[in-house]
Amino acid sequence: MRHLIEIQDLSPAEIAILLQLADEIIARPADFRDSAARKKLATLFYEPSTRTRLSFEAAMLDLGGHVLGFADQGSSSASKGESVADTIRMVQCYADIIAMRHPKEGAPVVAARHASVPVINAGDGGHNHPTQTLTDLTTIHREFGHLDNLTIGLCGDLKFGRTVHSLAAAMCRYPGTHFVLISPKELCPPDYVTDMICQSGRSYEQVRAMEEVIPELDVLYMTRVQRERFFNEADYVRLKDSFILDVPKLAAAKKEMIVMHPLPRVNEISVTVDADPHARYFQQALYGKFIRMALILWLLEGA
Ligand code: NCD
């Protein structure tokens, strides 16, 4: 039995299998509508979510399975003081697979240790978000047909943004990746992320403005400044509008360059970009359901 706690839990070969399966599901969804019949997915969300939770649930329903869970820790026994370990011991009696989001880094590791069913990390604090990365890889792969030799601009809150940490870890394993890290000084990625890039033999540059680097990018991955992870509101207010992508800034981009965002967006992408041919973030959210279908199937079948 396998869990998915961080993206490195999957080898590049296993990621390729999942991407292939997602492609098959996209091409022939009807063939998969009973694939997880009578199986149950529990979604334990101790933190807010729209896309991740609903795409997990839609994925399970489209596989013919059932869903149960909670969307708010206030409505679970966590509010009475129950530990993650005890909650998981219970939930594994009721479900065949668990997707869990938690504000504490490492909570899904604790969950996996106590679980006799697969546990999927649906985001743990400012740490990791492997299924968003699978969504991102699906989008990039379907767009470019490969994951090699791409220049990826990661822009915004690279310090607290868990999607960025997981995406960087994933892309480090593909030859020729070049990272352009675009953030204010205060929101630079943690050292472990830049160390990981160096150790992988990939290259990176750090810049403070997006305008100067837009022409070199294949992917511009925008992120929200993660208000809930700041220690004080004044710092958030000062940094929240560090980057605002608008249509004029995209004029310098390569024709094939795509703009991605895990969403939710606040101000960092002007709504006028939504209709721009570079925009892929809504498409990306749709792919999130298909790759989660692939992941659920694969984990239920014992990987
Ligand atoms: C992200 C998250 O929760 O980390 N959202 C998502 O899952 N699509 C990004 C964010 O909240 O900014």
Tell the residue number behind the tokens 């997006």, with chain if given: 210
Q: Return the pLDDT at 137.
A: 98
**Those residues with Cβ within 8 angstroms of residue 189's Cβ, 6 or more apart along the chain or in another chain:** 154, 158, 159, 164, 165, 168, 181, 183
7-128+288-300 against 130-284: fold identical: yes
**Which CATH code for domain 7-128+288-300?**
3.40.50.1370
Residues of the chain with pLDDT under 50: none
Rounded to the nearest angstrom, the distance between the alpha carbon of 263 and the centre of ligand 1 is: 6
Query: Where do the domains of the chain lie?
Result: 7-128+288-300, 130-284
Q: Return the pLDDT at 75.
A: 85
Is 51 an annotated catalytic residue?
Answer: yes
Q: Which of 263, 265, 291 to mutate to test the pocket of ligand 1 (most atoms within 8 A of CB)?
A: 263
pTM for this one?
A: 0.97
Measured CA to CA, the distance from residue 270 to residue 224 in angstroms comes to 12
Rounded to the nearest angstrom, the distance between the alpha carbon of 31 and the centre of ligand 1 is: 30
Question: Atom 11 of ligand 1 has which residue's CA nearest to it?
Answer: 264
CATH class of the region 130-284: alpha beta
Measured CA to CA, the distance from residue 300 to residue 37 in angstroms comes to 11
